[in-house]
Structure 1
Amino acid sequence: MRGSVDEDLRQARILLERTGSARTGLLAPEISASWTRCLEAGLDPHRPVPLEEIDDAGLQVARERADLARRLAVAEMQALYNQIAGSNFLIAFADPDGILLDTIADQSFRAAARTANIRPGTLWTEGRCGTNALGTVGATGRALTVHGGEHFFTRHGSLTCTAAPIFGPDRTLVGVLDASSHCGTRQPHTRALVGMAATQVENGLFRHAHHGDLVIAFHSRGEYLHTLSAGLLALAPDGTVLGANPQAAFLLQGLPALPGRHFDDLFRTRFSTVLDRGFSPEQQRLEDRVGSVMIATIETAPCRKALPGIAVSSATKCRMPARMARATPLPRAAFVADDPAVRAVLRQVAAGAARGLPILVRGETGTGKEQLARYAHEASGREGAFVPVNCAALSDTLIEAELFGHAEGAFTGARRGGARGLVCEADGGSLFLDEIGDMPMALQAVLLRLLDDWMVRPVGGGRSRQVDVLLIAATNAPLEQSVQAGRFRADLYYRLAAVDVRVPPLRAREDFAAIAGHLLASIAPGCRLQPCALERLQHLAWPGNIRELRNMLVRLTLTEPDRPLDAEAIEALLQAGPAAARPLPDEAERIPAPGRTPTLRDAVRNRIASAYRDTGGNLSETARRLGVSRNTIYRAIGKSANATTR
């Protein structure tokens, strides 16, 4: 069969190059139609048109224009690369105009990519570059594989290219995802993988467009509820349909899943019944208007004011996982996670970790970002170590050596025999970069290169080695503002935020009582909170979040660890001053040891510790108030514990 197809293609090329015609019977219909369009556009298969390219400024404008779709696509490109790495591939994303915005290539394919000028800024429209998967999909809006001689121009005949369109929620084309390889190394499953990646991006766009609406995921089989096969339906507070993804229309078999129709037009299960069941990751049973049974769950819900009948946190818009590739049981969290928003974050993190995607964890100080990072490591199933790194605590001059290792004699004070570096220690496991917003610009460029190929080269020489690391970053700083201010690289930000989650603050969580009980049980097992005390605690602001709550419970139980805690005990502690209810890192403000005279350095540290306490342990706010760097704050509060022993 292959010989027959190859012979037909050979005959078709002879006719194309000799007579300038596209013989329909010898080619797949989509290839024949493309050749015909190329001939009608005046293209000559013997004379390729010079590749058009835009300058850096134009490329930046194009990238900004496609911002959201590009961010989602780059994350999927990285996932695709991880799946097919080593198979001589290049993965590319282009905008609707055919401008190549981003590429990720195997080392083995980079020479071929340079030869073919496959690089960001080049234009790959069908009308200029002839039949090619990226350009032809952009012209037709249909997924396609173009193999070898099926390319209109012979110069691309050594390549096999597979591309899939990406449509926005309004079904307009927003981009094209492409995977290219040498003909001899093409993989039969590539088209399915590219199509799945495109669908992931489309679902991400749908969820983003309806992030403030009620979004329901459904499928006829519960095990497919969190896969690409699930339908997504966006609804207004009154049940009016705002949007549906293509899979929703497919599952509803012609029922009017159109904007403006009502939920009750599609399902026998009333919309009010769905709301009465409340916001929960638990599955619900729905019956559509033709009698088919669907399993559903509410993925996203607006605030309680918008949906009076739905039980969600009034301070949170809850998002369920947008990137889960398959339905897998979640590992049990080692911390309290009874809040719907937190459960949604866990699912999203678990799905991203299982696929090896970079994860960015945001949240105020003390919300448990490192605990979530450890949960991601467990969910990934990796057998390597979990290696935490506080970027704010590393020396600006040695941070690269700390991360990537160093050769012997690389710098003054270098360890004899050199050092592996933290990234290599995390090989096969997870690297947690806390306070990522404090990473120096120079190192950001190095980290970006690491994310491209995961090759580590020690400072001062030595052989490079490839590592397999799940990267998790965390910050309580607004990275978008840092990008705008030029303090953080935009390209690194987009790479780190493949899975972007936010841990809700303690004051917004619905499981406050469970958290307080869990902490108290670990601090003083014989102690308990009376209802009046719990109610008083729930009304505090908690700028230091869970860390601050733990500190207060510790202080409350210091004198009588077995006595029930009442509201009076809490009031007495609050009246003792702000310090009683604020977290202090390592008891940062200390009295000098006997016999030691306070120094100017002690005074500086005490002032920093006081400001740190007054901001609830917020490094950024403390640095802003004092007019110093975050590193200075961290060093002061970190070293203070040793001050009394000198």
Structure 2
Amino acid sequence: MDTGDTRRDIIAQAHRRCADMGLHHDGPPARAALPEAGLARLMERNGAWCRLAAPLMEALYAQIAESRHMVVLTDADGVVLHALGDPAWLGSAAPEAMRPGTAWSEASMGANAIGTALASKAPVQVHGEEHFLRAHRSLSSAAAPIFDAEGQVIGALDVAGAQCAGGHPHTMALVRMTAQEIENRLFAQACGNAAMVQFHACAELVGTAAGGCAAFSPGGRVLYVNRGGVSQCGMPLPRLRAHTLVSLLGLDPAALAPGAADGPLALVLPDGRRLHGRVVRRSGAWPGGEGGQAGGGTGGAGRSAPAGARPAGGLRALDTGDRQLAQAIAAVGKVLGRGIPIMILGETGTGKEWLAQAIHHDGQRAAGPLVVVNCAAIPESLIESELFGYEDGAFTGARKKGAVGRIAQAHGGTLFLDEIGDMPPGLQARLLRVLQERSVTPLGGGRAVPVDIDLVCATHRSLRGLIAEGGFREDLYYRLNGLVVKLPPLRERGDLRAVVARVLAGLPGGGRCAVSDEVMRLFESHRWPGNLRQLHSVLRTAVALSGADEACEPEISLCHLPSDFLEEDAPRGPAPGPHCAGSLETEALEVIRRALERCGGNVSAAAKALGISRNTIYRKMAGAPALP
């Protein structure tokens, strides 16, 4: 965990490595980016897991979008694959340094969050003077390595900002949580349809992103164990793979068989420690993960649902009582099946993709695929090949036998182009031609492929403003906006209580949670810059920290909310009174006490459950009254 002495030790070791490599504090950073052909090959090698990570990366950015930070994704060598945010926030040298293809390894950039997280295989925050090169001491970053199902480092996730904007401990928590969710999706993808056992020392954290999970063969042999499972079991992955279901968890293989009884399990590790668990029989979905399908989720760079796949509900399911939303839903319902393109406007995180899924669900093409393309999440160098596909040999590094583009994949179904306002101008002409001719020509190929699709687009930007600036084609605009609907931001919706209840119902353990009146008043006065995505993140953290026994109904109170959420400006209501700090401290102590009780007094287990360090627990409890 990136706290206290551990973090200082990691940074000190990084400085020693830099000195051993002959780097100097005043030396220049190596900011030369890979050439286009080299970057294309790198993106091809990392494309599958990057597409899986894209929606989570975007959800993370939505939570920090107004805090002058960037979110960066790199490969295992620290080479930037994708970056979200305005590089100008990081200083004059940042636009070049954050370009895709730029390496942030320690050998290239000295001690920094990305390179040091990869070298140490541990999450780390690096602030200002802690950077080895003076050129980077205006920065503050938090990074976490990303491991695949085999336990190998495949990349890193980083949040970077100016030194004056960084350093909040919650930033590190967000990065670690997002990296863990990426790993869980990679784990789910690798496991296929294998039966899994989820487990944790604390019952309410079974099935959450922080929990352990192991996949087993039908005979009970260990196939994979996620990082949470490695931590819970306290032994390295190679040793875990030598175990069976019986020797590792004390569970009979018959428990994995179809038709076996479901319900909570009492598990026993080889060292005698007891865990709570449950068996999960699955068909491609990560239990408890946001977004459902492995590799799916809101805001992905590009993906498709198989023919016949349906979201949980149609347009009617989205109507939870808000007047503005109800009007938008009614308008959409009147044009379904008429071949009219639909343009969805709204701030980031307002649920534009949910509406697109509902449109597909209720439309005449519901039995066909729904293909989602986020035009802002695909690097400009690759978006053309992603959309239109390519033939064998179309460019250096192209896959043999070529690749079918996203537009062709949507044939017979619905194509959803999210953040259409971020489509490069050069590709807008090609898209216009596709819509006019109802056919698509892959890169490097002369044969046009007919496509029959319904089209839904979305953006948070003003397309008319972009047209005036020359950034968006006016003729394409009029092709796309057959019907324009606008989704209200969360702060303007009149159905907040219903939305909170629905989000809670979709979270592991959330259906049992109540929200205190004090928290609901805060929610109603909050400005919600990240909208529904931010609400989901806040409630997910609050449910994990609510800390109630399974026998009673947990209540989410102020102490369970992320600290940066409490610090955000809430202009629509009065600020909390002077009693707030004291009451929060009291509630925090109570949460720690309950966690210690649930974990049998095991401070390490309680710290993991709460996502804090053991030192924090010792410090908080030092002056507190004794446990009853």
TM-score w.r.t. length of structure 2:
0.51
Cα offset for 1:124? 1.4
For residues 60 and 391 of structure 1, the distance between their equivalents in structure 2, rounded to whole angstroms, comes to 39
For residues 247 and 298 of structure 1, the distance between their equivalents in structure 2, rounded to whole angstroms, comes to 16
Equivalence for 1:229:
210
Cα offset for 1:324? 4.5
Equivalence for 2:109:
129
Equivalence for 1:218:
199
Partner-residue secondary structure (3-state), 1:62: helix
For residues 170 and 97 of structure 1, the distance between their equivalents in structure 2, rounded to whole angstroms, comes to 18
Provide, for residues 575-602 of structure 1, a one-character-per-residue CA deviation record: whole Å limited to 9, x for no partner: xxxxxxxxxxxxxxxxxxxxxxxxxxxx
Q: Does 1:150 align with 2:150?
A: no
* Letter paired with 1:43: L
From 171, 184, 192, give the equivalent of 2:164. 184
Distance 1:495 1:97, change over 3 A: farther
Equivalence for 1:271:
253
Contact 1:213–1:236 (8 Å) recurs in 2 = yes
Distance 1:161 1:261, change over 3 A: same
Provide, for residues 86-116 of structure 1, a one-character-per-residue CA deviation record: whole Å limited to 9, x for no partner: 1111010110122100001158727657455
Provide, for residues 511-567 of structure 1, a one-character-per-residue CA deviation record: whole Å limited to 9, x for no partner: xxxxxxxxxxxxxxxxxxxxxxxxxxxxxxxxxxxxxxxxxxxxxxxxxxxxxxxxx
From 263, 284, 289, give the equivalent of 1:323. 289
Contact 2:264–2:277 (8 Å) recurs in 1 = yes
* Letter paired with 2:375: L
From 237, 246, 260, give the equivalent of 2:227. 246
Partner-residue secondary structure (3-state), 1:28: helix
Distance 1:243 1:54, change over 3 A: same
Distance 1:179 1:391, change over 3 A: farther
Cα offset for 1:263? 0.6
Equivalent residues in 2 for 1:426-445 (5 A)? 428-430=350-352, 432-433=355-356, 434=359
Equivalent residues in 2 for 1:404-483 (5 A)? 422-424=344-346, 428-430=350-352, 432-433=355-356, 434=359, 448-449=375-376, 481-483=404-406
Distance 1:284 1:40, change over 3 A: closer
Contact 2:200–2:275 (8 Å) recurs in 1 = yes
* Letter paired with 2:182: V
Equivalence for 1:364:
307
Cα offset for 1:32? 2.7
Distance 1:215 1:495, change over 3 A: farther
Equivalent residues in 2 for 1:58-97 (5 A)? 58-97=38-77
Contact 2:177–2:209 (8 Å) recurs in 1 = yes
From 38, 41, 45, give the equivalent of 2:21. 41
Equivalence for 1:197:
178
Provide, for residues 447-504 of structure 1, a one-character-per-residue CA deviation record: whole Å limited to 9, x for no partner: 624999xxxxxxxxxxxxxxxxxxxxxxxxxxx843396989xxx99989xxxxxxxx
* Letter paired with 1:137: A
From 204, 209, 228, give the equivalent of 2:190. 209
Cα offset for 1:268? 3.2
For residues 27 and 348 of structure 2, the distance between their equivalents in structure 1, rounded to whole angstroms, comes to 51
Moved more, 27-36 or 252-261: 252-261
For residues 357 and 84 of structure 1, the distance between their equivalents in structure 2, rounded to whole angstroms, comes to 18
For residues 372 and 304 of structure 2, the distance between their equivalents in structure 1, rounded to whole angstroms, comes to 21
For residues 447 and 28 of structure 1, the distance between their equivalents in structure 2, rounded to whole angstroms, comes to 39
Equivalence for 2:150:
170
For residues 425 and 179 of structure 1, the distance between their equivalents in structure 2, rounded to whole angstroms, comes to 22
Structure 1 unaligned residues grouped into runs of 5+: 6-24, 302-316, 326-343, 404-421, 439-443, 453-479, 497-625, 633-646
Equivalence for 1:296:
277
* Letter paired with 1:77: M
Cα offset for 1:372? 5.5
Query: Which is greater in Rg?
Result: 1
Cα offset for 1:273? 3.7
Distance 1:370 1:233, change over 3 A: closer
Partner-residue secondary structure (3-state), 1:66: helix
For residues 322 and 222 of structure 2, the distance between their equivalents in structure 1, rounded to whole angstroms, comes to 39
Provide, for residues 152-176 of structure 1, a one-character-per-residue CA deviation record: whole Å limited to 9, x for no partner: 2212111101111111122211001
For these two proteins, the number of residue pairs brought into alignment is 380
Q: Does 1:259 align with 2:241?
A: yes
Distance 1:383 1:241, change over 3 A: farther
Distance 1:290 1:383, change over 3 A: farther
For residues 263 and 371 of structure 1, the distance between their equivalents in structure 2, rounded to whole angstroms, comes to 37
Distance 1:224 1:110, change over 3 A: same
Higher relative contact order, structure no. (Cα contacts within 8 Å, ≥ 6 residues apart): 2
CA-based RMSD of the aligned residues comes to: 4.6
Distance 1:131 1:376, change over 3 A: farther
Partner-residue secondary structure (3-state), 1:54: coil
Provide, for residues 36-68 of structure 1, a one-character-per-residue CA deviation record: whole Å limited to 9, x for no partner: 222222223223044121122221211221123
Equivalence for 1:550:
none
TM-score w.r.t. length of structure 1:
0.50
Distance 1:423 1:358, change over 3 A: farther
Partner-residue secondary structure (3-state), 2:122: coil
Distance 1:106 1:373, change over 3 A: farther
* Letter paired with 1:423: L
Partner-residue secondary structure (3-state), 2:116: helix
Provide, for residues 348-407 of structure 1, a one-character-per-residue CA deviation record: whole Å limited to 9, x for no partner: 99x967xx8899773535x654726765786x9999456458798555xxx5xx52xxxx
> How high is the sequence identity, in percent, across the aligned residues?
26
Distance 1:392 1:250, change over 3 A: same
For residues 49 and 36 of structure 1, the distance between their equivalents in structure 2, rounded to whole angstroms, comes to 17
For residues 259 and 273 of structure 2, the distance between their equivalents in structure 1, rounded to whole angstroms, comes to 20
For residues 377 and 631 of structure 1, the distance between their equivalents in structure 2, rounded to whole angstroms, comes to 23
Structure 2 unaligned residues grouped into runs of 5+: 366-370, 380-402, 420-448, 456-628
Equivalence for 2:382:
none
Contact 1:35–1:152 (8 Å) recurs in 2 = yes
Equivalence for 1:109:
89
Provide, for residues 412-464 of structure 1, a one-character-per-residue CA deviation record: whole Å limited to 9, x for no partner: xxxxxxxxxx42499845452245999xxxxx999624999xxxxxxxxxxxx
Equivalent residues in 2 for 1:514-593 (5 A)? none
For residues 277 and 486 of structure 1, the distance between their equivalents in structure 2, rounded to whole angstroms, comes to 37
Distance 1:44 1:393, change over 3 A: farther
* Letter paired with 1:364: A
Contact 2:78–2:103 (8 Å) recurs in 1 = yes
Equivalence for 1:52:
32
Provide, for residues 115-171 of structure 1, a one-character-per-residue CA deviation record: whole Å limited to 9, x for no partner: 552121111121121111112222222221111122122121111011111111222
Distance 1:435 1:212, change over 3 A: same
Partner-residue secondary structure (3-state), 1:109: helix
For residues 222 and 85 of structure 1, the distance between their equivalents in structure 2, rounded to whole angstroms, comes to 34
